[in-house]
Amino acid sequence: MCTSLLYFDAANHAYLGQTLEFAINEDFQVAFVPQGEDFSSSVEGFATLQWRSSQAYLGIAMPSSLPEPGKPFEAKAMSVIGGINQAGLTFSLQAYPQAGGQDPVADAHVAMLRAADLGAWALGQFTTVAEVKQALETQAVFLTALAPLGGLKTPFHYSLHDASGASIVIEFHQGVRTVYDNPVGVMTNAPQFAWHLTNLNNYTFLSNVDHSKATFGQYEAEQPGAGIAKAGLPSSDTSVARFVRAAFYAQYAEKQDTPDKAVQMVAHIMNNFDRPRGIAVDPPNEGSSHMHLQGQALDAVPTEFTCWTSITDLSRKRLYVRDTGGMNYVSIDLEQLAKTVRAPRVMALAALAPQPADLTAAFA
């Protein structure tokens, strides 16, 4: 579940592609939060952490706690899954069930940040990954049990990128926090991030250059078409295989010369990580497990699928997103929202999914 990668165009501007996979389609929301909003993060037994948003941000989110029946979702009560702020800082999360562990030892007077609030905390206050990394040197973070996920202890790790192209990973492994610099700009799921980097050493033979001819004895072998360069890429949808493929596509996809073409390129790249329903099913007796909202039943044989795909233009501060019910992306301009909208807003992602235009009449 979840693949993210950073692509650079010919002018070295950064673009983020992200998918999110679940075994059931959740109530994903698109939330906008302007500057000047007050936030708090509370962990039982510790002082409450408070901050005010100095950066407007836009993101795809889920409720950190289930609202009362009939009550609407509130933008400030959402946990950010993927988003961008006015400075071009992005935040995304990927499933990581190994996160949970022993609780940190800290004085009760310490203002503790819930891990579920990391997205709002980072996007609301900081402009670069360096600022986030520095702030985390003194900011304690607590993995709380999430009722919507059946009490799991915030089972994620986190990727952040900024407009300069710098990237970091925040990872909790059995309760121990590590902040990594991310030299490839790619993230998936388990194992640990450092393991994924080491595993790339097994793929130094990869190249985007086809070698379509070879001699075997007296036989001259020749490929009948292009594309043999990809033969060494792992083909499964495991997190290990997706990490290698994402690094390959981010490295070798042609560098486009305009932002619009770059966004189109990332859309093409992310098609390679789109998972339709039924392509991989996980019978319960095989030991597979899936995160989903409490109270929502899984199919008899669960199948993870891509719930949504997003593209983020870090320079123009634009979010492009399509959900599993749509074939086309919608575009949201954060800078324009920040100029005109003065209060938090939230809208169901499913309501934004456009249907293909019927152009039959144009040929009449």
In terms of pLDDT, which residue wins out, 76 or 2?
2
Q: Which two tokens stand for residue 321?
A: 């997103």
- Amino acid (1-letter code) at residue 356: P
Average pLDDT rounded to a whole number, residues 144-160:
85
Q: Given a cut of 80, is residue 274 above it in pLDDT?
A: yes
In terms of pLDDT, which residue wins out, 288 or 100?
100
Give the DSSP letter string of 145-185.
EEGGGTTEE--EEEEEE-TTS-EEEEEEETTEEEEEE-SS-
Mean pLDDT score of the chain, rounded to an integer? Answer: 92
pLDDT band at 70; cut points 50, 70, 90: low
Q: Which pLDDT belongs to residue 294?
A: 47
pLDDT band at 71; cut points 50, 70, 90: low
Domain coordinates in residue numbering, the chain: 3-201+237-363
- Amino acid (1-letter code) at residue 309: T
19, 2 contact by CB (below 8 A): yes
What distance in Å separates the CA atoms of residue 163 and residue 328, rounded to the nearest whole number?
25
Q: Given a cut of 70, is residue 275 above it in pLDDT?
A: yes
Q: Which pLDDT belongs to residue 287?
A: 59
Q: Which pLDDT belongs to residue 199?
A: 98
Give the DSSP letter string of 198-257.
HHGGGGTT--SS---EEEETTEEEE-SSS-GGGGGS--S-SHHHHHHHHHHHHHHS---S
* Domain 3-201+237-363 class, CATH top level: alpha beta
**Which residues make Cβ contacts (< 8 Å) with residue 290, sequence separation at least 6?**
22, 23, 24, 282, 298, 302, 304
Average pLDDT rounded to a whole number, residues 273-290:
78
Tell me the sheet residues that pair with 313: 15, 318
Q: Which two tokens stand for residue 299?
A: 């199919």
pLDDT band at 260; cut points 50, 70, 90: very high
